[in-house]
Structure formats: structure tokens, C-alpha cells
Amino acid sequence: MSHAAANKTETEAAPNSSLKQSAAPQPANSHDAKLLNGTLARTNGLTHAASVANSSSGSYGSSSAAGSNAGSGGAASSASLSLAAAVASSTALPLPPSSNGLQMPYERFRADDTSYVPIAQFYAGRSVFITGGTGFMGKVLVEKLLRSCPEIRNIYLLIRPKRGQEVSARLTELLNAPLFESLRQEKPKELSKVIPISGDITSEELGISEKDQNLLCRNVSVVFHSAATVKFDEKLKLSVTINMLGTKRLVELCHRMLSLDALIHVSTAYCNCDRTDVSEVIYAPPYNPDDIISLINWLPEDILDQLTPRLIGKRPNTYTFTKALAEHMLLKEAGNLPVAIVRPSIVTASLNEPFAGWVDNFNGPTGLVSALAKGMFRTMMCEKNYVADMVPVDIVINLMIAAAWRTATRKSNNLLIYNCCTGQRNPIIWSEFVKHAMTSVRKHPLEGCLWYPTGDLRMNRPMNTLNCIAKHFLPAYILDGVARIMGKKPFVVNVQNKIAKAVECLEYFATRQWRFKDDNVHALLHTLSPKDREIFVFDVRHINWDKYVERYVLGFREFLFKQRPESLPASRKRMLRLYYLHQLTKLVAVLLTWRFLMSRSKRLNDLWSSFLENALRMARLIPFL
């Protein structure tokens, strides 16, 4: 039997499907406006968030409202705009701070506890279902489960056919990646446990056939949901379809699973970036998720695009907005399912597993450090003394695996949240990160580096803009002009435009600071046995940032730029030449500037002549001269 699968990060548009939505229940009293954390029991499988519109017309986006606007013409358009305006102007009730970071009691591991089940033993004989298994985090999750839980039964991956490539071919391509090299050599039979399930996170019922749905419902006991669009500038409609509707459809499937013991939903620590202190709780969203889903189903996309800035409010993009709504929707739809949420901050290259520095994309800091290494990136808006909250991907994956174990072995009505971050236990500030990165890219330079890597972090926007023009775009246009003269294809300006777009997305997070409380993560760590702590490492206090950043640089050099370590000696010689050229260029620039100033100012010229005359007089007083 062959099964297929759908990729989590693919962002193709979903078919226009009509989903029946019911009006969201409004809070009856102030108690409903409290934080939605693990201390609130999910009575009858439902806990409602506090989200109250200021308008007196009641709830928006209901089935009746959608039905009344189903027609075409000016009246429908006018009604759509009125309703959208009501949605955009609504606000949530203020929320009190959490009084307790822990959402359920944790008992420390005791050597005499005979009831303790090691994590690997827990997964023995179990089947796991993973969405987003072909993405950055998903790949590491699959590899870790196969390597550290050798008795696991099967891993079902949701994979979407694309470009005429069947899911079986995509799975083969995935398992042939360098990430699985050690498994291919040491435990090749383990790879046969990975089974593709054909589907699409944007489709009804996840695009999974009835036969495969029944297969999953009979066999799966642990689900990891990491499928999402992580594009910060994604259209609202597609972001809602993948991050919210995809989650809702997965929960519907989980309700049918006969022996589900844990559902781990991967969110982001920045879903609550509109507040500076973020506890391990679910905060009431600004809008009812069902109403937003209704909105994207019947409102024209061009109007949605116009409304998006007002809808997302203080959040910087649709990604953090829809992730926040997805958490609340999960709490509402989960009922009595055993659910936990893992919120990583900025996910970067691996710390140790399966090998140090592994990364397969240019997202986040990776792209900017790569541009720095190429000598193409020199300035950005960033508060250098703020914490750069980054977390290695294998730390996140180990926490997810442990969270599923904990959720399954300690049954509770509470939905636990784990903020997987480094800012509280082992912080690094942006200036230190850039310093380590600068040292590493000079020590392990890329082949074909265009200029000697240097850079500055600034909080003065006019000065930063000036430096962008002088150091990024001016050289780019000169190089592209030379390329055209030589009959070659220009590309540097295009690269600089992409870098500028990436910088714009990251700027929000580099100019602000958050305090992500991670009490649940710390408590979970102490429930593990010493052996499990060694196998499933997620204690961020063990990260040596200097060594980590160096491995990070070596990692993207090898895995993204496909440059072997054998090329380093030649690259270092080139870097030395670029260093001398860089210093010479600075000297020439200073001399030209001085010459220009002297030609424009007689007083400055006289001062310079006087200085030289006095210097020569002093030199004659030295005997050996």
C-alpha cells in the first residue's frame, strides 16, 4: 500500500470552499475575560476567550451576515465594507497578568520512582503523525525520532504532491538529504518506518483520502502539528487558510483517532508580540477566530489586503496574528483531547543533532549573516543591547518530543504551553551575536566573497538609510553596470533588494525586546531522568554562544552554499587580500575627503601647511634623522 503526503510550508492557494461558521459566543461576565491558561478547566470540551467588539450591532461575521452578503452588486460590496470596518474597529478586553507561570504541578524525577517510563520506551510500538514533516523543523523531528526512539512503529508524514512529483518521490528525496546520512549508514531499516500520506493542509479534511484517514485514526497515538506558512509578508487569506483552518481540520481528524495520547501544536513565542511580558498562557485574541475565517471566505481579496493592517493591529505581520488566533481556536476546538503547545522563538541552526550547524534555509538571521559573510550587508536598524532570542532547532525538537511524552503520561484537563526560548536562562544580545558572527565569517570565509565583511547596528534611521544607499545600493549598481559592460547578467541589485526585504521583516524583532517566561519548560526538564536529559537535550543553559555561532557559520557554508571544508585555505587567502583592499579603500577615501575639504577652505589649507611645517621642524631635532 502506498501513501502520500503534503508539505507544511508550501503556500499554494486553497480552493475557495464554503465553510459553515457559527457566531462566536460572547463572554457573559468578566470571568470570561481572564487569561486562558491551564488553570481554567475545559468544561464540556470548551473554554471561550474574551473578545468583545465595541460596536453595538453584536457579533460580526455570523452565518446570517455572510448569507445576506452572498449576492453581487453595489449593496453587497457596501455591506462587506461596513462589516469589515466593524471587525477592524473591534478591540479585546484588557487582560490581567498571570499570577502563576506553572499550569500544573510538576514532580521532580526520583530514582526510586518505579512508575517512570523513559521517553524512548514511551514511543516504542507507537505510530506518529507529523504535519510539516518536509520543513526545517519537521525533518529534524523525523530524524530524531528514528535515531533516539528505535522501537517506534511508524511515522506518517503529510506530504503534498507538487510539480508533478508524487509523494513517494518526495519522500525518497527527503530521506536522501544529508540530514539522514548517519541513519542511512548505521540503521537503514529505520527509514522504512516513514510512510507518506498524500494530502494538502489547505484542503478540506487536509486533502487526505478516506482510506488514509481511517489508517491514521486506527494507528496514530501521537500527533505533531508543525505545518504553517512562516512567510512574514504572506497574504491574510492564505495565512488564515494554512495556520488557522489547517489547525482546525487537523483537530477534527484527531477527534476521530481511537488512541490519541498527545497532540503537540507548534506555535511561536511571538504570537503575543503585542505585549512585552509573555507567560505560558493563551491570551484572549483581538477577534473571534471563526469570524476571521468567515471574513476571508466571503470578502474579496483586494479589500482584505486593504484591511489587513487594521486587523493585525500592533502585530507586525499576518504570521504572528494568525498564530495567536490559531492557539485560541485550538483551545476551543480541542475539547478533551490531550493537547500541548510549544512556542519557539527565532529557530536557528542545530546545536548538536544530528550534527552541529545544520540548516536548510535562509530564513531569519541565517540570510542576513550569509549576506554579511558575502560582504553584501553592512548596516541595519537594531538595538544592539536588546536580547536576540534565538533557539537551535534540535533544542525545540527535543522539547516537542518530551512535551508529547509528558502530555500522554500525566493526564490532565489543562492545556500546557511551553515557551521555548533562551532569553531568560541564557541570553545573548544582538551586539554579541553580530560580534561572534563577524569573527566567524572572517575565520571561515565563503568562496567568492565580494568584499571584506564589516557592519554596524544602528538606531538612527536617517543615518542607517544613508549607509544603506552608500554601502549597499551604490556598490550594487556599480557592479551591475560593470557586469553589463562585460556582457554578463547583472544580479547584485536584485540580491540587495531581497536583503532589504529580509531586513524589513526582521527589523521589528531586532528593535524590540520581550520577556518570555519559560517556567513550564524548566519544570519539565526536572521531571526527566538523567539519561533522558542526555538524549533529549533542551536545557538552553548549556549553549556556548561563541562556539555555537562558529558552527552556525560553518553549517550554512556547507549545507546552504555547498562549500566543502577543503576550500577554506584558498578562501582565507582571498579574505586576506580583501582585508588589505578594504583598508586601502578607507585610506584613499580619507585622503580624497581631506583633499576636497582643503580645496574648499583656505583656513584649513593654512592649518595643514602649518602642521606639516612644525612636524618637519620637530623631525630635524631628532639626531639620527
CB environment 143-159: b (16+ within 10 A), e (fewer): bbbbbbbeebeebbbbb
Instruction: Please check the confidence at residue 522 and state whether its pLDDT lies above 60.
Output: yes
What pLDDT shows up at residue 106? 61
Would you say domain 117-336 falls under CATH 2.40.37.10?
no
Instruction: Please check the confidence at residue 40 and state whether its pLDDT lies above 50.
Output: no
What pLDDT shows up at residue 45? 30
List the one residue out of 515, 562, 520, 556 whose CA is nearest residue 538: 520
Return the domain boundaries, the chain. 117-336, 569-619
What pLDDT shows up at residue 246? 94
Cα 288 to Cα 38, 90, 274, 282, 328, distances in angstroms: 20, 10, 17, 14, 9
Three-state SS at 390: strand
List pLDDT tens digits, range 362-384.
Answer: 998 999 999 999 999 999 999 99
DSSP code at position 341: E
For residues 251-257, average pLDDT: 96
What pLDDT shows up at residue 613? 82
Report residue 620's pLDDT band, with 50, 70 and 90 as the boundaries.
confident
Task: Specify the higher pLDDT residue, 596 or 293.
Answer: 293
Instruction: Please check the confidence at residue 388 and state whether its pLDDT lies above 60.
Output: yes
For residues 225-252, average pLDDT: 91
Q: What is the pTM of this model?
A: 0.81
Cα 561 to Cα 123, 314, 552, 555, 557, distances in angstroms: 36, 37, 13, 9, 5
Do 312 and 235 meet the contact criterion of CB atoms below 8 Å apart? no
List pLDDT tens digits, range 71-83.
Answer: 333 433 443 444 3
Report residue 233's pLDDT band, with 50, 70 and 90 as the boundaries.
confident
What pLDDT shows up at residue 602? 80
Instruction: Please check the confidence at residue 340 and state whether its pLDDT lies above 70.
Output: yes
Do 140 and 178 meet the contact criterion of CB atoms below 8 Å apart? no
Instruction: Please check the confidence at residue 622 and state whether its pLDDT lies above 80.
Output: no
Q: Which of 22-31, 282-291, 454-463, 557-566 has the lowest mean pLDDT?
A: 22-31
List pLDDT tens digits, range 92-125.
Answer: 333 333 333 344 446 777 777 778 999 999 999 9
What pLDDT shows up at residue 590? 87
What pLDDT shows up at residue 610? 85
Backbone torsions φ then ψ of 222, nearest 5 degrees: -135, 130
Using a pLDDT cut of 90, give the percent of the chain over it: 66
What pLDDT shows up at residue 114? 77
